[in-house]
Amino acid sequence: MSKQEDYGLEKKLRLRVRVSKSQLPLVRCLVLGKLCSIIIDGMSSINVASLRLVEKLGIPTLPPPKPHKLQRLNEKGEIVVDKQVLMAFTLASYKDEVMCDVVSMEEAYILLGRP
């Protein structure tokens, strides 16, 4: 991928992230050849993969270096994170791997925050 193409993709991703929190767009990506919904949230600092996706695709999980809690991901309040997954995904011509916390969520299969 040329620098110009890379910049174009980065610019498109930034533009999609600039919408209000209540209107975060669902974007489609590929995970192990399967089409999945992903939310790119520039206001978040976490990366999360849904437990349903991880189980359905049989993606191996790892224990986090230190179990921790996430807040405000659902109506139940805090969620204890005891699994992580190295999530490989493709978004158009962009490919990446991101370490994600694994939790039960319904909004999307993957939530990506800022690095």
- Evaluate if residue 72 carries a pLDDT over 50: yes
The tokens for 18 are 């600039």
Rg for the chain, CA atoms, rounded: 14
Count of domains in the chain? 1
Task: State the alpha helices, DSSP H only, in 47-113.
Answer: 51-57
| Average confidence (pLDDT) over 62-71 | 88
pTM equals 0.73
Domain that holds residue 89: 3-112
CATH label of the domain that carries residue 13: 2.40.70.10
Angstrom distance (rounded) from CA 76 to CA 22: 19
Give tens-digit pLDDT for 79-97: 889 999 999 999 889 999 9
Angstrom distance (rounded) from CA 43 to CA 20: 10
Give tens-digit pLDDT for 13-45: 444 333 444 566 788 999 999 999 999 888 888
